[in-house]
A = this chain, B = another copy of it.
Amino acid sequence: MSQNPRDIAIIGSGLVGSLLAIYLRRRGHQVTVFDRRPDIRTVEFSGRSINLAMSTRGWKALAGVDLEEEVKKIAIPLYRRAMHSADGELTYQDYGKQGEAIWSISRGILNRKMIDFAEEAGAEFRFNEKVWDVELPEAKIYTGESEKSHWQEYQFDHVFGCDGAFSRVRHRMQRRSRFNYSQEFIDLGYKELTIPAAEDGSHVLDKHSFHIWPRGQFMLIAMPNIDGSFTCTLFMPFEGPVSFEKITTKQEAMDFFKKYFPQVQKEIENLTQNFFENPTSAMVTMKCFPWTYWDKVALVGDSAHAVVPFFGQGMNAGFEDIDVLDALLNRYPDNWERVFKEYEKSRKPNADAIAELSFRNFKEMSTKTADPLFLLQKKIERKFANAHPERWVPAYSRVTFSNNSYSEALEEGDRQEGIMKQIMTLPDIEEKWDSDEVEQKILSLLEQQDS
């Protein structure tokens, strides 16, 4: 418990906002959570979300407030990727030899649970209350019906902006001088679709797999829900030959699903209906700095660092922010200025690293999965990693199944890429890719780097 309990506002009742509320309540602080939207427990889900893939970092942050077991009850472990090729072939790739898994969770269901937990911990929630402005040096916030209506003023000791990629709190910080900021959209959009449960309530695809239908410029993924359904996400360019703008009628949508995803014939009716019901959403990489204002205001999660979803790390990274903040509050008790400074300093390089890794995954997916040399390279890497698990930990494992820093995963990934570049230029690599010679060459390149 803090010797000096403070009055704290959290803007945003999403996953990061509600977990942070729990952490701060445990320390004895007074916590009020504001959200412009209604209580998610009282409304239908939006139809615009991608299922969460909770991995090691996320679980660690939940374990810190003893919620790991509770949350596992609404999660399904995925032990492998299931790749559905265009010609109908299905191949599985385990995430790891030791039964490593990512966990599929519905964002809406988890969010409802987290708000329950936060309320139980004593946080006060003020839904439907829109924050329009923040007086940074005073930690004051202003709420009201509209930007031009009468505003209500609140005074706090600290304000946390957990209000997502388009954060209103950050918006205020952006208007200060020397605030670095960038938002970069990708040309791909995404749309949530659903594959319903079978009549007996069971899953119609293997429920312990992360299902992927890679199609080059576009792809479909599916992740299981506990009710037997799958939440699918269709990633596709906004414009171009195969794109959201090209599909405008029910017939076009059905033709599209039939042609490219023959494995989901039975679900086409439902997918087609979803296609027109649900919005097409954009994806952005958002970076900024600084993340804090003196000891008054701090950004946490997507408001500080939004990434494209191709590494499944958005929520995990936000939860890790909280884990780091908590460790700093232990280290510098009640010294909020120091905590905020150290927090942004230690997290910023890692946020940049996961942004880069996520963007690279997007690039790989959309430009390289049709390149035979790239596929060969991945095959060589997998073979080597299996033979020498201690010498070659893939970036995916470092990011997903460890708590080591994202920066380290990025650096190691670059090192590995440097080695593979040399390997791929070996003469006749297509023929001898699984030879001893190649294996020895990788080992010797690794040793060169180490020395």
- Asked if residues B182 and A184 are in contact (CB atoms below 8 Å), the reply is yes
Q: How many copies of this chain?
A: 2
Q: Is A282 an interface residue (CB 8 A)?
A: yes
Residues of B within 8 A of A147 (CB): 147-148
- Contact segment of A172-180, A362-370, A389-397: A172-180
On chain B, the residues within 8 Å of A182 by CB distance are 181-184
Partner of A181, one of B148, B178, B181: B181
Interface residues of A in 125-182 (CB under 8 A from B): 147-148, 174, 177-182
**Is A294 on the interface with B (CB-CB < 8 A)?**
no
In the complex, whether A185 has a CB less than 8 A from a CB of chain B is yes
With both chains docked as a complex, state the minimum distance between the C-beta of A132 and any C-beta of chain B, in angstroms. Answer: 10
Q: Is B178 touching A282 in the complex (CB atoms < 8 A)?
A: yes
Find out whether the CB atom of B185 lies under 8 angstroms from the CB atom of A178: yes
Shortest C-beta distance, A106 to chain B (Å), equals 24
Contact B180 A183 (CB under 8 A): yes
What chain B residues lie within 8 Å of A178 (beta carbons)?
A: 185, 238, 282
A273 to chain B, nearest CB (A): 24
A131 to chain B, nearest CB (A): 15
Residues of B within 8 Å of A179, CB to CB, are 183, 185
For the complex, give the distance between the alpha carbons of A180 and B183 in Å.
6
Nearest CB in chain B to that of A178: its residue:
B185
Q: Name the distance in Å between A168's Cβ and chain B's nearest Cβ.
A: 11
A183 to B183, CA, bound (A): 9
Minimal Cβ-Cβ distance residue in B for A286? B181
Closest to A183 in B: B181
Residues on the B chain within 8 Å of A177, using CB:
185, 282
* Bound-state Cα–Cα, A179 to B181, Å: 13
Could you tell me which residues of chain A, from 212 to 238, have a CB within 8 Å of some CB in chain B?
238
Instruction: List which A239-276 residues lie within 8 A (CB) of chain B.
Output: none
Nearest residue in B to A281 (C-beta to C-beta)? B177
User: Nearest Cβ distance between residue A133 and chain B, in whole angstroms?
Assistant: 9
- Specify which chain B residues have a CB less than 8 angstroms from the CB of A184 in the assembled complex: 180, 182
Q: Which residues of B contact A185 (CB under 8 A)?
A: 177-180
Q: Which residue of B lies closest to A238 (CB)?
A: B178
Q: How far apart are the CA atoms of A351 and B183 in the complex, in Å?
A: 18
Give chain A interface residues in 176-216, CB to chain B under 8 Å: 177-185
Within 8 A of B (CB), among A273-329: 282
Alpha-carbon distance between A180 and B286 when the two chains are bound, in angstroms: 10
Output the nearest chain B residue to A174 by Cβ-Cβ distance. Answer: B183
Distance of A182 Cα from B178 Cα, bound (Å)? 12
- Distance in angstroms between the alpha carbons of A336 and B430 in the assembled complex: 54
CA distance A202 to B277 in the complex (A): 75
The A421-447 residues at the B interface (CB cut-off 8 A) are none
Complex Cα distance, B182 from A238, in Å, reads 22
Name 20 A/B residue pairs within 8 A (Cβ), A-sorted.
A147-B147, A147-B148, A148-B148, A174-B183, A177-B185, A177-B282, A178-B185, A178-B238, A178-B282, A179-B183, A179-B185, A180-B183, A180-B184, A180-B185, A181-B181, A181-B182, A181-B183, A182-B182, A182-B183, A182-B184
Apart from the given pairs A179-B183, A180-B183, 18 other A-B contacts in the complex at a CB distance below 8 Å: A147-B147, A147-B148, A148-B148, A174-B183, A177-B185, A177-B282, A178-B185, A178-B238, A178-B282, A179-B185, A180-B184, A180-B185, A181-B181, A181-B182, A181-B183, A182-B182, A182-B183, A182-B184
Instruction: Give A contacts to B, CB under 8 Å.
Output: 147-148, 174, 177-185, 238, 282
